[in-house]
A and B are shown apart, each in its own frame.
Chain A
Amino acid sequence: MSYVDAGYAVALATLFVYAVGLVLRRRRWERALRVSEAPVAEADGAPGPGERL
Chain B
Amino acid sequence: MSERALPPGRPRWLDVVGVLGVIAMGFTVWLGLWVTPPDVVQGNLARLLYIHPPIATVALYWVGIVAAGGSLLYLWPRTRSLFWDRLAASSVEVGAVFSALTLVTGSLWGRPAWGVWWTWDARLTSTALLLLLEIGYMALRRVPAEPAVRARRCAVAALLIAIDIPIVHFSVDWWQTLHQGGTVLDPGFDLRVHGIMLWTLGLGFVAFSLIFVWLLGVRYQVEVLQDAVGDQELEVSLTERWSEDTELVGVGAGDPEPHPGRGAP
Footprint of B on A, CB under 8 Å? 2-4, 6-8, 10-12, 14-15, 18-19, 22-23, 25-26, 29-30, 32-33, 36-37, 39-40, 43, 46-49, 51-53
Chain B residue total in the interface (Cβ 8 A): 44
Contact of B236 among A2, A6, A32, A39 (CB under 8 A): A39
- Chain B residues whose C-beta falls within 8 Å of the C-beta of A52 in the assembled complex: 242, 245-246, 249
- For the complex, what is the distance from the CA of A12 to the CA of B174, rounded to whole Å? 33
Q: Is the CB of A22 within 8 A of B101?
A: no
The verdict on A7 contacting B229 (CB below 8 Å), with A15-B97, A43-B243 known, is: no
How many A-B pairs with Cβ below 8 Å? 105
Cβ-defined contact, B226 with A29, below 8 A: yes
**Contact present for A3 and B109 (CB under 8 Å):** yes
Q: Is the interface of B mostly helix, strand, loop or mixed?
A: helix
Contact of A7 with B233 in the complex, beta carbons under 8 Å? no
User: Known contacts A19-B218, A23-B218; is A7 also within 8 Å of B105 by CB?
Assistant: yes
Q: Is the CB of B228 within 8 A of A33?
A: yes
Q: Which residues of A contact B249 (CB under 8 A)?
A: 52-53
Are B48's CB and A4's CB within 8 A? yes
B binding-site residues for A, Cβ under 8 Å? 7, 25, 29, 32-33, 44-45, 47-48, 51-52, 55, 97, 100-101, 104-105, 108-109, 111-112, 211, 214-215, 218-219, 221-222, 225-226, 228-229, 232-233, 235-236, 238-240, 242-243, 245-246, 249
| Residues of chain A with a CB closer than 8 A to B245's CB | 52
- In the complex formed, the residue of A with least CB distance to B212 is A15
Flag if B239 contacts A43 (CB, 8 Å).
Answer: yes
> Which residues on A sit within 8 Å (CB–CB) of B239?
39-40, 43, 46
In angstroms, Cα B18 to Cα A22, docked, is 13
Contact A6 B108 (CB under 8 A): yes
Known contacts A43-B243, A49-B242: A26-B51 contact under CB 8 Å: no
Q: Are A36 and B229 in contact (CB under 8 A)?
A: yes
Q: Which residue of B lies closest to A14 (CB)?
A: B101
Could you write out 26 A-B pairs with CB less than 8 Å apart?
A3-B45, A3-B109, A4-B44, A4-B48, A7-B108, A10-B105, A10-B108, A11-B104, A12-B25, A14-B101, A15-B211, A15-B215, A19-B214, A22-B218, A26-B221, A26-B225, A29-B225, A29-B226, A30-B7, A36-B229, A36-B233, A37-B232, A39-B236, A43-B240, A46-B239, A52-B242
